[in-house]
Homo-oligomer: A and B are copies of this chain.
Amino acid sequence: MSSQTKFKKDKEIIAEYEAQIKEIRTQLVEQFKCLEQQSESRLQLLQDLQEFFRRKAEIELEYSRSLEKLAERFSSKIRSSREHQFKKDQYLLSPVNCWYLVLHQTRRESRDHATLNDIFMNNVIVRLSQISEDVIRLFKKSKEIGLQMHEELLKVTNELYTVMKTYHMYHAESISAESKLKEAEKQEEKQFNKSGDLSMNLLRHEDRPQRRSSVKKIEKMKEKRQAKYSENKLKCTKARNDYLLNLAATNAAISKYYIHDVSDLIDCCDLGFHASLARTFRTYLSAEYNLETSRHEGLDVIENAVDNLDSRSDKHTVMDMCNQVFCPPLKFEFQPHMGDEVCQVSAQQPVQTELLMRYHQLQSRLATLKIENEEVRKTLDATMQTLQDMLTVEDFDVSDAFQHSRSTESVKSAASETYMSKINIAKRRANQQETEMFYFTKFKEYVNGSNLITKLQAKHDLLKQTLGEGERAECGTTRSFTCGSGGFQHRTLNVSDAPG
């Protein structure tokens, strides 16, 4: 009995087997739950994304409409003023050009954000709802296939159970047959021992026929039991073989399921999910990248216009526009009095000496004035350079404000402090206006000086010419009109050269 306790009883084996099967069944159920949960999380994610893009689309549309309204407000203002100033269109000043392009860019941004709305509503969201349908359909189909796989597994384990039971049965019969055979052998041995003892001590003749038939009987039984045992042993061997082969098949089937089939099942559930989701995200990205490209193109156009902000060209445009106002007037002509035939400076005696003296005085005065005014001009130029440096300081880079490593708060304060703090502004402007004031003082000085020089120079040049002519006149003929007719240089008005 003690040696039998180490063997499991049939009931124990069955219980163990059933526990193992139960564990597997539980896992299979849990696997479905896991797949279902995975599908549900996906559906939730897709729903969140749809809600997100629906609301984002609304926000883009609001933004687009606000921008459209903003652009339209100023565009209509320009249109109405344009009707008055129709002719001025050809004289578009560079700052106005920038302003029009900023409005144009605003309209462009408005259109692009409307397009974003359109793509989110009619493309991204549609894709997301299709993926939701796919997730539901694929989960359903995958569960179908999974159930089939599970059925197959249970079929295999049921078969194993059957062949195991068969083995148990045949082995039990084999053991029983063996013990019966052993009992017969024991009886035979007993009989054999008994007859040996008797043959020594008792009469053998009377007993012999009795003993012989008994021995024969025992031998026959033993043979019978031997045959039964052999038959049962063969049956048991075959059943054990079957059990062992089914065991291998079952383990292989379970192994295949856990290593390959479960993975394939998840792949069925996943079929296209990542690819479709990626295409949806790429649609969103394509829209956003294209918005950005369009925005960039527009900004480049504005930047180009800003590069072309040109005060010189604008000045000429304004002067062309007001042609009549800036056109130099006719020269003052010499008006000979009552048929006075002399119409040029007379440099003959007795005024010659005086004119010569005056000429030399003018010459030396001009030389001094020019030196003085050149000094003023140099100061003026240097002041202008200082002003220009102030006016063109590159203080417009706001990239620091877009550094995302910092928090929103510190970014905002940084933007305010670095570029436009009140102290900096006040300091800069005070400095600029001081320089500007000095520039204007020097400019007035320079204008006064150059005015004087211009007048004296004109007299000087006329005297020089006259005195030269005078010399020539003495040895030739006098021309009657030297300071005749014609306007100033660069005139734009078409005027008659000779007054009536």
Contacts and interface: CB of A to CB of B under 8 A. Distances in A.
A253 to B, nearest CB: 6
A268 B63 contact: no
B351 A237 contact: yes
Interface stretch (A210-218, A244-252, A367-375): A244-252
Contacts of A250: 332, 455
Nearest to A298: B404
A119 interface: yes
Given A95-B274, A291-B402, A329-B23, A345 B429 contact: no
B171 A31 contact: no
A249 B332 CA distance: 10
B24 A329 contact: yes
Contacts of A245: 345, 458-459, 462-463
A279 B390 CA distance: 11
Contact of A30 (B67, B243, B325): B325
A88 to B, nearest CB: 10
A408 interface: yes
A482 B135 CA distance: 46
Interface string A18-32: 001001100100110
A1 interface: no
Contacts of A291: 402
B447 A387 contact: no
A167 interface: yes
A221 interface: no
Given A259-B489, A451-B256, A45 B351 contact: no
A281 B55 CA distance: 33
Contacts of A490: 259
Nearest to A344: B244
A292 B283 contact: no
Interface string A333-361: 11111111011111000110001000000
Interface stretch (A96-104, A188-196, A200-208, A473-481): A96-104
A63 B70 CA distance: 14
B259 A285 contact: no
A309 B248 contact: no
A450 interface: yes
A65 B343 CA distance: 83
B402 A290 contact: yes
A48 interface: yes
A73 B56 CA distance: 12
Interface in A244-286: 244-256, 258-259, 261-264, 266-268, 270-286
Contact of A119 (B263, B302, B401): B401
Contact of A248 (B70, B119, B459): B459
B259 A328 contact: yes
B306 A299 contact: no
A459 to B, nearest CB: 5
A186 interface: no
B251 A331 contact: yes
B262 A326 contact: yes
Given A152-B451, A325-B27, A444-B148, A99 B48 contact: yes
Interface string A292-313: 1111100100110010011100
B102 A440 contact: no
A8 to B, nearest CB: 7
Contacts of A20: 329-330, 332
Contact of A337 (B160, B168, B483): B168
A130 B429 contact: yes
A457 B252 contact: yes
A56 B281 CA distance: 30
Contact of A249 (B77, B299, B436, B455): B455
Contacts of A33: 325
Contacts of A355: 241
A252 B70 contact: no
B398 A283 contact: yes
B285 A118 contact: no
A388 B274 CA distance: 11
A458 B243 CA distance: 13
A92 interface: no
Nearest to A159: B455
5 contacts: A4-B338, A98-B281, A108-B404, A119-B401, A292-B296
Contact of A95 (B42, B283, B330): B42
A66 B70 contact: no
A122 B408 CA distance: 16
Nearest to A42: B95
